[in-house]
Amino acid sequence: MIKLYMSIMTKEKLPLIVGIILPLTLILYVVVAAYIPSLIVKPKYNFVYTNTNYYDYNVNVIDGRVNIEPGYSNNTSRTYFPKQPSLFLYDVVNDKSTQISLTQAQTYILDPSNKSPDGFTVGRGEYDSYSFFPFFFGGSNRGYYLMGKGLSRKITDQDYYNFKFVGWVVNE
């Protein structure tokens, strides 16, 4: 009698059990698939970027070395003298940005191409938006990321106008 009762209860609850276990299994799969690349994929090349004042200065790479030139003439009648842009070295192993001087930056040989030799890029995060018409609408730019091979690692929260990628460090 108990076996018959258990058999009937199991058959009746089977859709409920499947309805709970299947979505949980799918969620677990998505979480694991999203985090595995960040554990396995390791970028190898550090890079240099600037995050301030590249409108008044031209920051570029010439013969593998960073070069900063004023974008304005050296007119002595100027009342505004812009500050030279700050340079940063992003260490991919420690996931950390460090401010460096122009002299330090010039000790590195830089590759200014968009893609690193190991296949990574630096780019802006997607625009995050949300809405619940007609009550709410908003959004934000989510900063800059090191991306590639399933990895997406946040570098900085700087907005579009205050970030410029300079080059990949190829001589470390």
**Which pLDDT belongs to residue 97?**
92
DSSP 154: E
What would the mean pLDDT of 11-36 be, rounded to a whole number?
84
Q: Which span out of 36-40, 81-85, 106-110 was modeled with the highest average pLDDT?
A: 106-110
Residues 41-58 pLDDT 10s:
899 999 999 987 656 788
**Which pLDDT belongs to residue 170?**
96
User: Pseudo-torsion of CA 56, 115, 96, 169, nearest 10°?
Assistant: -80
- What type of residue is 48? V
Phi and psi based region of residue 14 (left: phi greater than 0; alpha: psi -120 to 50; beta: remaining): alpha
Per the model's pLDDT, the better-predicted residue between 138 and 49 turns out to be: 49
The whole-chain average pLDDT of the chain stands at 81
Its pTM stands at 0.73
Asked whether the predicted pLDDT for residue 161 surpasses 80, the reply is no
Determine the 3-state secondary structure of 123 from DSSP.
strand
Per the model's pLDDT, the better-predicted residue between 170 and 32 turns out to be: 170
Percent of the chain with pLDDT over 70: 74
What would the mean pLDDT of 68-91 be, rounded to a whole number?
78
Residues 104-121 pLDDT 10s:
999 999 999 999 999 999
**Which pLDDT belongs to residue 45?**
96
Burial call 65-99: b when 16+ CB within 10 Å, e when fewer: ebebeeeeeeeeeeeeeeeebebbbbebeeeeeee
What would the mean pLDDT of 118-145 be, rounded to a whole number?
69
**Within a 13 Å sphere around the CA of 26, how many CA atoms are in the beta-carbon half?**
6
**So where are the chain's domains?**
1-40, 47-74+82-169
